Amino acid sequence: MTEFELIDRLRVLMPSNASTQVGPGDDCAVLDLGLADRWLLFKTDAIVEGVHFEVNADPLWIGHKALARCLSDVAAMGGAPSHALVTLGLPRNFDAARVEGVYAGMKRLAERHGVAIAGGETTSNPERMFLSLAVIGTAGRGRCPLRSGAQPGDALFVTGELGDALESGRHLNFEPRLAEGQWLVEHFEIHAMIDLSDGLAGDLKHVLKASHVGAEILADAIPIHPAVRGASEESAEKRSYAPDSRLTKALSEGEDYELLFTLPEGESVRLLDAWQERFPNLRLSCIGKISPGSDLVVRDRDGPRPLTLDGYVHFQKP
């Protein structure tokens, strides 16, 4: 059973109530607690030593990542975070200076975004450290772009550059795209949005499934991070779909924490112009479009190819 199959089975055991606008299955839960013009966003996320960070990682960046992952999900709802709670699990022989370093990393990021760390809990945990964060924030009432909102004909955009997040260290020191997410929702009719944690191919599939649509992405339009090295030469056309190619890495590696979103195609030029003006240092790429049906295909000079996914991405020549 995969993690996603397990979540599907658990979902029926998670009760809802009248104030829950969006329950399990999006980047944040969305709650209507009676705030004028605002909905509440609610998110939790955990990172575990040896899984999400190495034991010798810089404590500042461990703390940064723990909070930044939650803030990235708030960004994907076009929201503004406000408060966090921290649950810290520690082995008995913990190093106090290391733990202080972790909290200093959280503090630095929290202060930059006006987030209060309003409490928490410590517990012992054999062998390894873990951090579980819960974050609340708000978004405009009725203005959260959900995974389920993509429509055939929408243009598909992604921020930044993708791939090699683990080796380059970007999985630790990335900046959650909060200003970008809020600006997009304020100025454009964003139909669907998600942050990239599982890799572009995997996260796009979440959007397509929730929206009951397909997509065609353009191989040449994928913004590959300059740090990505592929065993296959880009010029060797036949090998550009190999498991170790730069394109495959950019599509499948994960932990990029960039924003992937859709909007009506007619808005694309206005968006690119305004983006250039507002965020001149962050790349924005139109990588394809949403289509009817349910197929995800990659188009290059030779035509479209299906993009399949089972844990990792495998490309097949048609």
Q: Considering only 69-77, 150-158, 167-175, 250-258, which stretch makes contact with Mg ion by CB under 5 A? A: 69-77
Q: What is the dihedral of CA 16, 121, 115, 99, to 10 degrees?
A: -140
In terms of Cα–Cα distance, which of 47, 48, 58, 45 is closest to 126?
48
Q: Is 154 in the site for Mg ion (CB under 5 A)?
A: no
Q: Considering only 66-74, 81-89, 113-121, 256-264, which stretch makes contact with Mg ion by CB under 5 A? A: 66-74
In terms of Cα–Cα distance, which of 166, 196, 174 is closest to 258?
196
Supply the minimum distance, in Å, between the C-beta of residue 277 and Mg ion: 27
Q: Is 73 in the site for Mg ion (CB under 5 A)?
A: yes
91/154 Cα distance (integer angstroms):
49
DSSP states along 229-298: --SS-TT-GGGGGSTTSHHHHHHH------EEEEE-GGGHHHHHHHHHHH-TTS-EEEEEEEESSS-EEE
Q: If phi over 0 gives left and psi between -120 and 50 gives alpha, with beta otherwise, what is residue 112?
A: alpha
Q: Considering only 117-125, 174-182, 191-199, 239-247, which stretch makes contact with Mg ion by CB under 5 A? A: 191-199
Q: Is 195 in the site for Mg ion (CB under 5 A)?
A: yes
Distance of CA 142 to the CA centre of its chain: 21
Supply the minimum distance, in Å, between the C-beta of residue 198 and Mg ion: 8
Q: Is 26 in the site for Mg ion (CB under 5 A)?
A: no
Distance of CA 18 to the CA centre of its chain: 28
Q: Is 45 in the site for Mg ion (CB under 5 A)?
A: no
Q: Is 256 in the site for Mg ion (CB under 5 A)?
A: no
4/228 Cα distance (integer angstroms):
28
By beta-carbon proximity to Mg ion, the closer residue of 25 and 101 is: 25
Q: Is 198 in the site for Mg ion (CB under 5 A)?
A: no
By beta-carbon proximity to Mg ion, the closer residue of 195 and 256 is: 195
Q: Is 258 in the site for Mg ion (CB under 5 A)?
A: no
Supply the minimum distance, in Å, between the C-beta of residue 316 and Mg ion: 28
Q: Is 27 in the site for Mg ion (CB under 5 A)?
A: yes
Supply the minimum distance, in Å, between the C-beta of residue 231 and Mg ion: 30
- Distances in Å between the Cα of 180 and the Cα atoms of 64, 137, 235, 294 are 19, 16, 34, 29
Q: Considering only 26-34, 136-144, 169-177, 293-301, which stretch makes contact with Mg ion by CB under 5 A? A: 26-34
Distance of CA 185 to the CA centre of its chain: 16
By beta-carbon proximity to Mg ion, the closer residue of 98 and 143 is: 143
Which residues of this chain interact with Mg ion, rule CB under 5 A?
Answer: 27, 73, 195
